[in-house]
Amino acid sequence: MPTDAGEYPDCGERRKNLELRERLDEIVALARKLCQDGQLLGSSDLDQTRMRIEWLAEEIYAAAVYGPLEERGRDPAPEQGDFNSDG
């Protein structure tokens, strides 16, 4: 366990990458929804949720490694209902 206060990030640092925080909040909300209502969802809803979680995981990785979207110049996120369910 580090004892030096300089080894920890500045407490404001976790607020600098708001995209990462938003994506993490969304994936946690989806996980909670699946835990509570997963058995009630139809297969197409489960597929959409799975695709959204996979996309969020990629975005979380990119935001954590490469920084916020504005600094990367990537396309904006698709909305949750914008998935093609053809597979």
pLDDT at 85: 46
Give the pLDDT mean for 19-48: 90
Residues 6 or more apart whose CB falls under 8 angstroms from that of 60 comprise 20, 23, 24, 27
pLDDT digits (tens, 9 = 90+) for 35-59: 998 889 899 999 999 999 999 999 8
Which has the closest alpha carbon to 45: 4, 80, 20?
80
Model pTM score: 0.60
66's tokens: 């490469």
Q: Using the predicted structure, report yes or no on whether residue 87 has a pLDDT greater than 50.
A: no
Which has the closest alpha carbon to 29: 84, 68, 83, 80?
80
Whole-number Å distance between alpha carbons of 70 and 51? 24
